[in-house]
Structure 1
């Protein structure tokens, strides 16, 4: 039975976790997008060493659990004298993990841009980086916007990993509430509702952008 009194009595705790989750998601989203674009460009670079690095990065990061990556930053780095708080450790882990998936999506978009566009840009005097920045990447991102949106939504949901390292997010606050009330079903169902407050508007925004870009084309 859903106990609405838990939401009423602990609304401040829920909202505290909500805003920390939002802050962490925005930080990791920006980081993952920037890294994803860079790695995607490396993946299709004509420079063999960059291409090798991009491939190794994607294959390694995609095939290890997110939890291990977060633990590396939170528990591993202090052993070499680098101490990160839970927010930074979780944000870096989540951002780097998601960047590997974003890189693959953007790489697919880059490869779907007609070669004639690239050749025209290079023949007009643009450098390789300028061609990527002004010609290829804008088209590629438009093409892969739906999978990018899915990755951003997954990032928000994966931010629950912060609860494992006492990051103060929704899951962490829910664990505190559950330890005081022992109303497990109600506590975590309300957490799910708060996650929906983040993911549904993001999904609607991505759909809006997709329709708008389609009309622009």
Structure 2
């Protein structure tokens, strides 16, 4: 009979120690150089836009993805097929292509459709006609990221919901819980432990993919870097600062999400 395996002692995160040391050295270097301070001050103006695009885009993508996932798990074959069509088509289009399509094809098509539907109200003088310029490039970029990521998030939600044992759902039915109550009280609290890690990965990925909005001229971190570099020809310094800021955001966010996962696991172990 083999002795029980010992719990493996957690390794010291040397990679994190090295990364923090490099970040501190870089911060000292930035603070001690007039050039790097100027570059950092310029590029940092785009942090607010990057955070706004990421948070709003991810929140909308999560809501849309959950809706698509529930359609994929519904009892209606039509809803399941519509959900599968949406997921497969959207996942097959690169985010950058989707960004261009939403910005320069989808937005004009939406405006044309809106004006067609509201034509009687416009003729009566109750509302003005909508023009393409009324939809800012910022919101076109957010909608593109929302649609693009919702297809991936829908699969994350679907897999997490399906991971819940069917016996618990049947027991909840026997207790007379409604479908909404079963989802809110039984399914979702258990599914979130499976959903959270890949959902966190998608959030970090959206932070990085938010840099794509710079192609539309949205003043995020990347766009501010492009503007400064094109005017000063300080490409090395500028894009080093851009990479540094993105690394601070993504690594810090990844560590926060891992800490949240560990906390949820401890709570589940105690319960």
TM-score grouping bracket, smaller chain normalisation: over 0.9
Tell me the TM-score normalized by structure 2: 0.75
Structure 1 unmatched runs, 5+: none
Select the residue among 232, 236, 242 that pairs with 1:191. 242
- How far is the alpha carbon of 1:52 from its aligned partner? 1.0
* Counterpart mapping for 1:113-192 below 5 A: 113-192=164-243
Tell me the TM-score normalized by structure 1: 0.93
Question: Does 2:77 match 1:55?
Answer: no
Distance 1:30 1:191, change over 3 A: same
Aligned to 2:37: 8
Deviations 1:129-149 (A, max 9, x none): 332232212211211211111
Aligned to 1:25: 54
Cα RMSD, aligned residues only: 1.7
Aligned to 2:154: 103
Deviations 1:3-28 (A, max 9, x none): 95443113332121111101111111
Distance 1:157 1:143, change over 3 A: same
Structure 2 unmatched runs, 5+: 1-28, 112-131
- How far is the alpha carbon of 1:78 from its aligned partner? 4.4
**Residues 39 and 241, structure 2, Cα contact 8 Å, conserved in 1:** no
* CA–CA distance in structure 2, aligned partners of residues 159 and 178 of structure 1: 19
* CA–CA distance in structure 1, aligned partners of residues 143 and 185 of structure 2: 28
* CA–CA distance in structure 1, aligned partners of residues 109 and 71 of structure 2: 29
Query: Aligned pair count?
Result: 216
**Residues 6 and 187, structure 1, Cα contact 8 Å, conserved in 2:** no
Question: Which structure has the larger Rg over C-alpha atoms?
Answer: 2
